[in-house]
Amino acid sequence: MSTGCDRSFEEALLTGYLDGMLTQGDRQRVAVHLEDCQICRRTVEQMRELREATMTTRFATPPDDQWNEAPRGAASRLSFGLGWLVLVVWVVGVTGFALGQLWSSPESLIEKLLVFGGVSGVVLLFLSVLIDRLKTMSSDRYRGVEK
Amino acid sequence: MNSPAARAVLSYVNAAMAIEAPLAATASESELVAQARAGAAPAREELARRHRESAYLLGLHLTGNREDALDVAQDALLRFFGALDRFDERRPVRPYLLRIVRNRVADLWRSRRVRRAESLDDADLSRQIADQRPGPEETARQAELRRRVWQALSRLPAAKREILVLRDFHDLAYAEIARVLDIPIGTVMSRLHAARRALRELLAGDAPAAGGGG
């Protein structure tokens, strides 16, 4: 039995050996070395003990009533999408109609410009948010999650 | 009840129940995924029930905070179901979901301007252990070692902590770890070994008999 470690392989193989993730050749190489090396045997034993301690720990988890991830069914998602579509069409229609009415009304030009200016500001802000969201969608990190 | 209309209604109900029937807790994961993709709500609920605890615990191990962990886990589940069409049902759900959890935690840190490399010094994971009293089958030393290990894990940098918990707590294979962390499978073993060494060094510098004496 040697007193110093003279292994001829990377130390990381000890981790692979512990986890049972080595090829047969590497496993044999490590096993032969461990028979003779007290230092590496001790390293593997320590890692095994820490792994056991980690693996057997139990953590408190939230009770059932705290979970509200309730995934939506197809019908719910469809009605949600349709709901938004109808709402957007309604908002655009009503706003367009109101603006049309205002433009053809006998109000002064300044009043009309004030209203049009305000509405244009809101529309521009909405568009900037929409463009940002669309840009984000194209680089969405979750799109690449394991296809 | 024998009218053609009643028979039609009954046959429709029976057909609907036949669709729901295999969604019991015994259904395989790929069956559940296929049915969830087809819109079966019970299949989605069963998938969520099976995997939400893992998602929560990885969230807890990465954030150190129960509220953040629950938020991250719930959000990850919603994203998982939202991306179900892109998911290959032949693959296991857990690594896929845990990868989403990890990405959500990264988003959370980014939104709070916290550097991901930081340890959880303020949040000691050993305080989250369910029952810290030693059970009848274990010695006080084992319970104490467990407490110290999680205390040390909280102090490790995030990259080392996450690979350690994915292997040693969540029991993922190297290929699954590579998928969760988005790294080549060839680097998993060396990174894991570096993390284990860092954990041993922390425990050794810390206390009387770290990890059985070293």
In tens, the pLDDT along B72-106 reads 999 999 999 988 888 888 889 999 999 999 999 98
Q: How far apart are CA A82 and CA B8, in angstroms?
A: 30
Where are any strands of DSSP class E within chain B? none
3-state secondary structure of B17: helix
pLDDT at res. B18: 47
What is the per-residue DSSP string for A38-82?
A: HHHHHHHHHHHHHHHHHHT--B----GGG----PPPHHHHHHHHH
Q: Which of B129, B67, B61, B171 is nearest to A59 (CA)?
A: B129
What is the per-residue pLDDT for B15? 47
Mean pLDDT on B121-128: 73
For the beta carbon of residue B9, count every other beta carbon within 10 angstroms.
12
The predicted model gives B108-116 an average pLDDT of: 75
Per DSSP, B139 falls in state -
Each residue's pLDDT tens digit, B127-176:
777 766 666 666 788 888 898 999 999 999 999 999 999 999 999 999 99
Which residues in chain A show pLDDT less than 50?
Answer: 1-2, 71, 144, 146-147
Q: If pLDDT is split at 50, 70 and 90, which confidence band does B3 have? A: low
Q: How many CB atoms lie within 10 A of CB B159?
A: 14
- What is the C-alpha separation between A126 and A82, in angstroms, rounded? 20
Q: Mean pLDDT, chain B, as a whole number?
A: 82
Contact of A16 with chain B, judged by CB distance below 8 Å, is answered with yes
More confidently predicted of B192 and A140: B192
A118 to chain B, closest Cα gap in Å: 32
Chain A partners within 8 Å of B99 (Cβ): 145-146
B24: three-class secondary structure by DSSP: coil
Per-residue model confidence (pLDDT) at position B10: 57
* CB nearest A69 (choices: B74, B103, B179): B74
* Gap between the Cα atoms of B139 and A135, Å rounded: 56
A107 interface with B at CB cutoff 8 Å: no
Between A and B, how many CB-CB pairs are < 8 A? 137
- B167-174 long-range CB contacts below 8 Å, 24 or more apart? B167/A19, B167/B192, B168/A50, B168/A51, B168/A54, B168/A55, B169/A54, B169/A55, B169/A57, B169/B57, B169/B61, B170/B54, B170/B57, B170/B58, B170/B94, B170/B98, B171/A55, B172/B94, B172/B95, B172/B98, B173/A21, B174/A19, B174/A21
What Å distances lie between residue A125 and A88, A111, A113, A130, B193, CA to CA?
15, 22, 18, 9, 51
Beta partners for residue B129, in sequence order: A59
Residue pLDDT, tens place only, B52-73 = 999 999 999 999 888 899 999 9
Q: Do A45 and B99 touch (CB under 8 A)?
A: no
Q: Taking 90 as the threshold, does the pLDDT of residue B8 lie above it?
A: no
- State residue A127's pLDDT score: 87
Indicate the DSSP class of residue B127. Answer: G
Instruction: Give the pTM.
Output: 0.69
- Provide the shortest C-alpha distance from residue B121 to chain A (in Å): 19
Burial B14-42 (b: 16+ CB within 10 A, else e): eeeeeeeeebeeebebeebbebbbeebbb
Amino acid B211: pLDDT: 41
Taking CB atoms and an 8 Å cutoff, what residues of chain B touch A74?
38-39
Rounded to whole angstroms, the Cα distance separating B44 from B33 reads: 8
Q: What is the pLDDT of residue A137?
A: 62
The answer to whether A102 touches A117, Cβ cutoff 8 Å, is no
What ipTM describes this predicted complex? 0.76
Q: Give pLDDT, residue B23.
A: 56
The residue with tokens 């407490």 is B147
Chain A positions touching B190 (Cβ under 8 A) are 10, 12
User: What pLDDT sits at residue B141?
Assistant: 82
